[in-house]
Amino acid sequence: MYTHKVHYYETDRMGITHHSNYIRWMEEARIEFLKNIGWGYEKIEEMGIISPVTAVECRYKNTTTFADIVHIDVWVEEFKGVRLKIGYSMKKPDGTLVCECSSEHCFMNKDGKIISLKREYPDIYNALVQHIKEE
C-alpha cells in the first residue's frame, strides 16, 4: 500500500483536491508497487524497456482536501504479456472510498517497438502475473 498526503497546491479554489492529481498519485503508487516487486522503473529502463500509459480510468467517489491522508492499494488486474492493466483503490484512513482507478500500459524497446514481456523478459512477466488480483 502506498500513502499520499494531500498537499495544499493539489487543491482548487474550493479547497478540494483537483481531479488531475489522482492520476499523478496513481503513477506514484505504481512506481512504488513495481519497486516493491523487484522491478522498479530505473531497473526496467536500464534494460532498455519503456512502459507508456495507453489508457486511464477514474471513478471519483468522495473528495479529499488539504492534509488528508490517502492510502492507495495497487494490483495487477490483467496481464498476458503485452498489455498490462493495473487497478488502484484510494481510501481515507477511516475506510472512506475516494477513487477507483485503472491504468493500461504496453511495453516497448528503446526503438519504439512493442515487446512481449512473456516472451522476451519472462522474469518481469512472472513477477507481474503473481500480483493479479482475482475477483
Highest mean pLDDT pick, 10-14, 90-94, 112-116, 130-134 = 90-94
**12 belongs to the catalytic site:** yes
Look at 27 and 134; give whichever has higher pLDDT: 27
Q: To which residue does cell 519497486 refer?
A: 35
Which residue is catalytic, options 12, 94, 111, 123?
12
Report the pLDDT value the prediction gives residue 133, as an integer from 0 to 100.
83
List beta partners, residue 87: 75, 102
71-118, pLDDT tens digit by residue?
A: 999 999 999 888 999 999 999 999 999 999 999 999 999 898 999 999
Q: Round the average pLDDT of the chain to a whole number and report it.
A: 94
Separation CA 44–CA 51 (nearest Å): 9
pLDDT at 134 over 80: no
**Boundaries of every domain in the chain:** 2-129
Q: What pTM was estimated for this model as a whole?
A: 0.90
Q: 127 falls in which pLDDT band (50, 70, 90)?
A: very high
Beta strand segments in 1-135, E: 2-5, 49-50, 53-60, 69-79, 84-91, 97-105, 108-109
Report the pLDDT value the prediction gives residue 135, as an integer from 0 to 100.
62
Q: Is the domain defined by 2-129 classed in CATH 1.20.1250.20?
A: no
- SS3 label, residue 34: helix
- Output the nine-digit C-alpha cell for 61: 467517489
Q: Lowest-confidence range among 3-7, 55-59, 92-96, 128-132? A: 128-132
